[in-house]
Homo-oligomer: A and B are copies of this chain.
């Protein structure tokens, strides 16, 4: 299915991307393999594209993308935010604290959904089995009744259950020790809970 030379080329693409962060140009491929002509490099690239192993954007420089193995194809990278400022979703970009990677299938989310992550602080949602230190994954979309959402209250983001009571939304903690929150004016929902990841350091496991 794939020839030895093409395998070498594919390996060179992969290692170059890992080393430098971007793809080699046709001339860099040519030089690496000692070709006297670019045609050799180009024809190999075309062969790889024809076999579906890479994708190319015509006319654009270094526009190669490896078609990774379909085994863990729908991998999603979720940015984890520390705080989410008020203007989120419009112009102000939040501060990224790290990234979290999961495959979309086992999480059961759409790979193209707009997602972000937060680290849970406090035990206000322990009734919904969400603990202090858990990572929650949220999708940016409109909340429905009884969804768990991240919302902005007094300049701080908190995780609560979104409840509609006679068309009036309020936020309900899943812990009797925490009070319900009725928004003073406007309720800013930043995301709807779609996933949860609990790590080894969680106190629940010890």
Instruction: Report if A166 contacts B (CB, 8 A).
Output: no
Q: How big is the A interface, by class?
A: 35 or more
A199 adjacent to B99 (CB under 8 Å): no
Q: Which residues of B contact A205 (CB under 8 A)?
A: 147-148, 193-194
Instruction: Report if A126 contacts B (CB, 8 A).
Output: yes
Q: Which residues of B contact A20 (CB under 8 A)?
A: 57, 63, 65
Name, among A77, A196, A201, the residue most crowded by chain B CB atoms within 10 Å (CB to CB). A196
Q: Which residues of B contact A198 (CB under 8 A)?
A: 195-198
Copies in the complex: 2
A residues with a Cβ closer than 8 A to B are 4, 7-8, 10-11, 18, 20-23, 25, 55, 57, 60-66, 68-69, 71-72, 75, 77, 79-80, 91-93, 96, 98-103, 105-109, 126, 128-131, 135, 146-148, 193-202, 204-206
B4 adjacent to A199 (CB under 8 Å): no
B61 adjacent to A93 (CB under 8 Å): no
CA distance A65 to B68 in the complex (A): 20
- The smallest beta-carbon distance between A28 and chain B, in angstroms, is 9
A72 adjacent to B101 (CB under 8 Å): yes
A77 adjacent to B68 (CB under 8 Å): no
CA distance A102 to B10 in the complex (A): 23
Which residue of the partner chain B has the closest CB to A65?
B21
CA distance A106 to B122 in the complex (A): 18
Q: Which residues of B contact A194 (CB under 8 A)?
A: 199-200, 205
CA distance A107 to B196 in the complex (A): 11
Which residue of the partner chain B has the closest CB to A161?
B205
Partner of A22, one of B22, B98, B196, B206: B22
Q: Which residues of B contact A60 (CB under 8 A)?
A: 22, 25, 62
